[in-house]
């Protein structure tokens, strides 16, 4: 199956006209989900979307792609293993090597009583949800008002020795003289957040007939009184969606039974720059499309979603992943599924074979990326035929279309968006777009269902942006 590039344009009523060169695909050979799930849900806004507070109309789609590349390189540091323990991802490595990449998706929710609107980075690579709080010993500049726990009737600091405090790694928590539980996260780029571990009321959801707004009392979060570094000024902190005990999805377990999903629409440097993505808490609505599921592998830290990649096919050519020298134990859980990393990373030795297979499959002149970042690249854009690439996870074959694996970096050039890594593999968000990605933390599986994730039009999203401005800036 092949795909071609074509030009298209989208007009935004919010002052700018957004021009995009996009991928168009032939009739898909698989069914797609008919509708988005009806569980309670929240829109996820990509940082490069025209309705994002970070959107810069002066940047080209190529600028955004390269910026995403650089953020991906920074983010992969948080997943790198400690040099003294190549088989485990230790908390020491997490603390010393984590790099704040600014995040790819924002999620809106409210905390406290009365509720205060918060815009946080939705992060499947983090556990503890934290926001900046008054009073600030040191805070990075943010445009939305800071959360003031003294004005909330439902706020409560947690003591040391409590189960929730003990759930944090010993390197992440400290106790003060009043026996209050404190957290401390540091990042490789010298960003940091420190504060109280506390309980608070969270209000989550979109107000629709099929998706109500729900409130949850006594959720654990970090109230950051000392924060700094490279965090974006439009966000208030991080929403932890990882698999650890204090993550938001783990704390909502009784309500959502360990299930959550997201559907990522093509981004501003792909097909639909005005498309909205969505995260669904709870079971997703059944669809006619057959989902494929792969087991989650238990490894340290429990935050990350490890799965096993067995092979990759370029068209009909199948390439075994991991090498013959790797032991069965090393092959298990050899790649992390992560929504916060844009690119997909594969081990370097295997990548050489993959690159050769691509050259054989693509009948176009190979050229160099002018910025020297992506490879391989090919001359042409409008008429170039690109192969379907299949990721063969344990028990699940996930067919990626060309918009999942290639991007147009110039008017007449396309480049591969899967890159080599020396030590860790990550299945990034470009590869996950237009799939309903469903996590079941009770059954320990992650599933992929081909789905049209372009659920909202530009006009609806611009209304969402207006409401966001009202909620976050006019208070």
What residues act catalytically? Answer: 123, 338
**β-bridge pairing 214-228 and 130-132:** parallel
The closest of 214, 239, 221, 274 to 41, measured between CA atoms, is 214
Nearest-angstrom CA–CA distance, 322 and 329: 11
To the nearest 10°, the Cα dihedral for 129, 131, 134, 135?
70
Q: Which H or E element spans position 155?
A: none
Nearest-angstrom CA–CA distance, 203 and 213: 7
For the beta carbon of residue 35, count every other beta carbon within 10 angstroms: 11
Q: Say whether the peptide bond before residue 321 is cis (omega within 30 degrees of 0).
A: no
3-state secondary structure the chain: CCEEEEEEEEECCCCCEEEEEEEEECCCCCCCECCCCCCCEEEEEECCCCCCCCCCCCCCHHHHHHHHHHHHHHHHHHHCCCCCCCCCCCHHHHHHHCCCCCCCEEEEEEECCCCEEEEEEEECCCCCCEEEECCCCECCCCCCCCECHHHCCCCEECECCCHHHHHCCCCCEEECCCCEEEEEEECCCCCEEEEEEEEEEEEECCCCCCCCCEEEEEEEEEEEEEEECCCCCCCCEEEECCCCCCCHHHHCHHHHCCEEEEECCCCCCCCCCCCCEEEEECCCCCCCCCCEEEECECCCCCCCEEECEEEEEECCEEEECCCCCCCHHHHCCCEEECCCCCCEEEEHHHHHHHHHHHHHHCCCCEECCCCCCCCCEEECCCCCCCCCEEEEECCEEEEECHHHHEEEEECCEEEECEEEECCCCEECHHHHCCEEEEEECCCCEEEEEEECCCCCCHHHHHHHHHHHHHHHHCC
């Amino acid at each position: 199956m092949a795909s071609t590039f074509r030009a298209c344009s989208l007009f935004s009523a919010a002052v700018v006209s957004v021009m995009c060169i996009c991928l168009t695909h032939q009739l898909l050979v698989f069914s797609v989900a008919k509708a988005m799930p009806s569980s309670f849900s929240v829109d996820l806004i990509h940082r490069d979307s025209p309705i994002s507070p970070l959107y810069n109309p002066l940047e080209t789609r190529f600028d955004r792609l390269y910026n995403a590349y650089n953020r991906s390189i920074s983010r992969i540091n948080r997943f790198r293993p400690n040099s003294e323990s190549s088989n485990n991802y230790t908390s020491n490595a997490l603390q010393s090597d984590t790099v704040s990449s600014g995040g790819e998706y924002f999620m809106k929710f409210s905390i406290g009583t009365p509720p205060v609107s918060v815009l946080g980075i939705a992060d499947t690579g983090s556990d503890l949800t934290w926001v900046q709080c008054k009073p600030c010993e040191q805070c990075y500049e943010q445009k939305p008002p800071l959360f003031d726990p003294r004005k909330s009737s439902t706020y409560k600091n947690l003591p040391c020795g409590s189960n929730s405090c003990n759930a944090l790694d010993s390197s992440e928590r400290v106790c003060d003289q009043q026996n209050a539980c404190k957290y401390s996260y540091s990042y490789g780029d010298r960003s940091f957040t420190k504060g109280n571990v506390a309980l608070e009321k969270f209000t989550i959801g979109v107000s629709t007939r099929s998706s109500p707004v729900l409130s949850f009392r006594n959720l654990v979060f970090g109230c950051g009184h000392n924060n700094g570094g490279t965090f974006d000024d439009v966000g208030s902190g991080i929403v932890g969606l990882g698999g650890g005990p204090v993550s938001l999805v783990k704390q909502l377990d009784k309500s959502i039974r360990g299930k959550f999903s997201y559907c990522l629409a093509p981004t501003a440097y792909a097909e639909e720059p005005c498309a909205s993505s969505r995260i669904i808490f709870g079971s997703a609505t059944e669809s006619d499309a057959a989902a494929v599921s792969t087991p989650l592998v238990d490894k340290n830290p429990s935050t990350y979603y490890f799965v096993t990649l067995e092979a990759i096919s370029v068209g009909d050519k199948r390439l075994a992943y991991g090498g013959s020298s790797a032991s069965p134990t090393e092959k298990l859980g050899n790649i992390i599924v992560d929504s916060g990393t844009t690119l997909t990373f594969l081990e370097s030795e295997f990548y050489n074979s993959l690159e050769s297979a691509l050259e054989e499959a693509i009948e176009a002149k190979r050229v160099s990326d002018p910025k020297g970042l992506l490879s391989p690249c090919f001359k042409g854009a409008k008429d170039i035929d690109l192969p379907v690439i299949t990721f063969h996870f344990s028990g699940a074959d996930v067919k990626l279309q060309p918009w999942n694996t290639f991007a147009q970096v110039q008017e007449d050039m396309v480049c591969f968006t899967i890159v080599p890594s020396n030590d860790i593999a990550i299945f990034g968000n470009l590869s996950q777009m237009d799939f309903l990605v469903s996590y079941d933390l009770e059954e320990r599986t992650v599933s992929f269902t081909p789905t049209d994730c372009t659920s909202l039009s530009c006009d609806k999203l611009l209304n969402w942006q207006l409401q966001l401005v009202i909620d976050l800036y006019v208070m």
